Amino acid sequence: MEAILDPGGTTIAAIATPPGMGAVSLLRVSGPEAIAIADAATGGKASSALPRTACYCHVKDADGRVLDDGLLTVFRGSNSYTGEDSVEFTGHGGILVTREVLSRFLACGAVAAGPGEFTQRAFLNGKLDLTQAEGVMDLISAQTRLSLRAAHSQLEGTLGKRTTAARDQLLETLAHLEAWIDFPEEDIDPQTGVLLRGRVAAVLDVVESLLATADQGRVLREGVRTVIFGQPNVGKSSLLNLLLGFDRAIVSNLAGTTRDTIEEVVNLHGIPLRLIDTAGVREAVDQIEIEGIQRTVRQIEAADILLEVVDASQPRTDEFILPAISTKRLLVLNKSDLGEHATWESTEAVRLSCSTGEGLGALSDAIRAALHFNEADWGEHAVAINARHQASLQVARASLRAALTLLDDGAADPELAAIDLREALDALGEIPGKVDTEDLLGVIFSSFCIGK
């Protein structure tokens, strides 16, 4: 559903808790009529309630029959999540009762909220910047402790503050440059050019350092694409099951058991790993296996890290399956419980037995080391940019580099450098949402849940 871009007009309502049965459910209402609508549904309880203090009430239908009882909390004006009058009702968490309560609020004048509409209103009312709004979504979907910490940092505004500071610095620089262009005779200080250049370079440094976090940001949100591949029957599916801690994939002593790719996320000491078990690569015997092997090849191409599994009890063949590729690759000598064939003796690899679990700790250390993923790097104020931030930062970087080249060229028209700086300014402004970003808002908030 398209989220509404005009806050203030309507009063929206939604159930903020997940659908299903639970101890409680939360109904959220926000907008100019929130208190009046809650009054109509609760027999006047909302307007007499102390702000931000829960009070007991009944929600009644049009004939005065009780639909549910629970706690009502009123937030007035800017003292709310959305920055406008809001009411929350915490009632019983049954599927039908929750639906009836929502219907009652809708009948009293509220309209059903679209995905992310509460957070969108918070943004439009200046309670959050765009990076913080995205942080809300990251926090809800975080699957590991590190993802959660990065989301918290974003929600606190770390990224928004850093980009806003860089943008402010650029704005000041642009103002100087424009003054210099307009009144060249007033300020002929040869230092001016050097000073401006230094400031632009400093902003470029900030942009570069934020861009350097892009990979970590993607990994924290989506997981490290970890593709398990190798010849048939070497224990790939056994490795998936071992890392997952339960029997997800079928394991058998028949070669060619796994036909399709199987994807599951595991938490490896805070790092989300998106594990992908694949069909063993060999001369395929039938059409389904050919398709399975083609899928394996596609997964290998998109991998962040490859776990190449071999059977340690069999002689080493020097024809490893893959040609040299740049993706990080770890060799796993599985079935080490069966004894290692002498030909593997000097091979650098992780020795593992999926049957006994021996070597799992070493494999987990090797994966962490290969990813250069050190928890200590993730301080309290870590920044993990997303694809949207990355795209804006790339535009800013290109414009800042172009401006620097022009500033270095004594013969170039400084007006051209000013155009580049303005472009960089807009690109940086898009990150916290400081420029007109209407199209963007629809895209960002439509990925939220209803009620958030």
> What residues from 20 to 59 belong to the interface with Mg ion (CB under 5 A)?
none
Q: Which helix (H) or strand (E) holds 350?
A: strand 350-351
Q: What is the DSSP string of 259-326?
A: -S-EEEEEEETTEEEEEEE-PPPSS-SSHHHHHHHHHHHHHHHT-SEEEEEEETTSPP-S--SSPP-S
- CB 252, min distance to Mg ion, A: 8
Question: Hey, CA dihedral for 45, 57, 103, 10, is it positive or negative?
Answer: positive
Residue 256 interacting entry, from Mg ion, ligand GTP, none, C-beta within 5 to 8 Å by type: ligand GTP
Count of CB atoms situated within 10 Å of the CB of 151: 22
Residue 235 touches which of Mg ion, ligand GTP, none (Cβ within 5-8 Å per kind)? ligand GTP
Where do contacts with ligand GTP occur on this chain (CB under 6 A)?
A: 232-238, 251-253, 255-258, 280, 334-335, 337-338, 353-355
Please give the residues from 242 up to 271 whose contact with Mg ion meets the rule CB under 5 A.
257-258
Q: 205 vs 137, 160, 192, 378, CA distance in Å?
A: 28, 16, 20, 20
Q: Of 177 and 363, which has the nearer Cβ to ligand GTP?
A: 363
Tell me how many helices (H) and strands (E) the chain has: 15, 12
296 forms part of the interface with Mg ion (CB under 5 A)? no
Q: Which does 433 bind (CB under 5 to 8 A by kind): Mg ion, ligand GTP, none?
A: none
The least distance separating Mg ion from the CB of residue 351, rounded to whole angstroms, comes to: 20
The reply to whether 98 sits near Mg ion by the rule CB under 5 A is no
Sheet with strand 86-93: strands edge to edge:
55-60, 66-75, 86-93, 22-30, 12-15, 111-112
Q: Is the dihedral of CA 161, 163, 166, 172 positive or negative?
A: negative
Provide, rounded to whole angstroms, the least separation between the CB of residue 371 and Mg ion. Answer: 24
Q: Which is nearer to ligand GTP, 79 or 252 (CB)?
A: 252
Question: Which value, to the nearest 10 degrees, does the dihedral of the CA atoms of residues 394, 374, 264, 364 take?
Answer: 140
Count residues contacting Mg ion (CB under 5 A)?
4
CB 54 within 8 Å of CB 112: no
Q: Which is nearer to Mg ion, 58 or 282 (CB)?
A: 282
What does 17 bind: Mg ion, ligand GTP, none (CB cut-off 5 to 8 Å by kind)? none
Is the Cβ of residue 121 or residue 236 nearer to Mg ion in the bound state?
Answer: 236
Q: Which is nearer to ligand GTP, 127 or 351 (CB)?
A: 351
Question: What is the nearest approach in angstroms of Mg ion to the Cβ of residue 257?
Answer: 5
Cβ neighbours around 226 below 10 Å, total: 28
Specify the residue, 285 or 302, whose C-beta has the smaller distance to ligand GTP. Answer: 285
Cα–Cα dist 186/188, whole Å: 6
With CB under 5 to 8 Å by kind, the binding choice for 30 among Mg ion, ligand GTP, none is none
Report the nearest approach of ligand GTP to the CB of residue 353 (Å): 4
Identify which of residues 173 and 299 has a Cβ nearer to ligand GTP in the complex.
Answer: 299
The Cα angle at residue 387 between residues 384 and 392, in degrees rounded to 5: 100
Residues in the chain: 452
Write down the least CB distance from residue 442 to ligand GTP, Å.
Answer: 44
Partner whose binding site includes residue 62, from ligand GTP, Mg ion, none (CB under 5 to 8 Å by kind): none
Shortest CB 252 distance to ligand GTP, Å? 5
Which of 266, 434, 444, 221 has the alpha carbon at shortest distance from 360?
A: 266
Residue nearest to ligand GTP according to CB distances in the complex = 280
State yes or no: residue 237 binds Mg ion (CB under 5 A): yes
Contacts of 178 (CB under 8 A, 6+ apart): 418
Q: Which residues bind Mg ion (CB under 5 A)?
A: 236-237, 257-258
